Amino acid sequence: MSKINKKKVLKLTNHITTGILFVVLIGMLAIVVISKASGGEPEIFGYQLKTVLSGSMEPGIKTGSIIAVKPGGDMTRFKEEDVITFMAEDEKLITHRIVEVVESGDNTLYRTKGDNNNAPDRDPVLSENVVAEYTGFTIPYVGYFVNFSQSKNGAFLLLIPGLLLLCYSGFIIWKTLSELDVVNKKNKNEVKENAEVS
């Protein structure tokens, strides 16, 4: 391989490495900042991003996925086959499909079921316990990363891509300055030699 090709490959590798480190750092920082600003799950353009921690809605929504849900509005508007996110009795958020709508006096109740479960959920869901509607948007496996980044260990590890990027940037700047120094010395020597010849 020629010297020019080696330099091109090295330069391309440098750019790719810098780009990857930068994207990872910005992505992790964005997730943490959005999470902290919203006081919990990240929220973007009015949509909340929730992490799915069980396989009850597989294969449509895989364990460890991130889903987008739309909060607000009339929580009595839902019908069969809609997928809703609701607060269970143990203060846990669950996203399941409505299999039946029950009107009981002034109350609207939803019977729900996970797509992967054999039977409907034991307790019906009061409309006031519905938090949001699932929009159909999901990104598989990213939830594992989000949960980890929100933990103490994850927040600490956020520093690693930043430090790597900082060290790598320092190395590139040092290397560039060294190359400039060599070029300047070479130019000075050429000028000196030309002056001696004259």
Catalytic annotation, residues: 54
In the chain, DSSP assigns E strands to 43-44, 47-51, 66-71, 83-87, 93-104, 107-113, 125-126, 130-139
CB 139 within 8 A of CB 64: no
**Dist CA 85 CA 71 (whole Å):** 9
Is there a cis peptide before residue 59, judged by omega within 30 degrees of 0? yes
The closest of 143, 150, 159, 127 to 57, measured between CA atoms, is 143
CB 133 within 8 A of CB 75: no
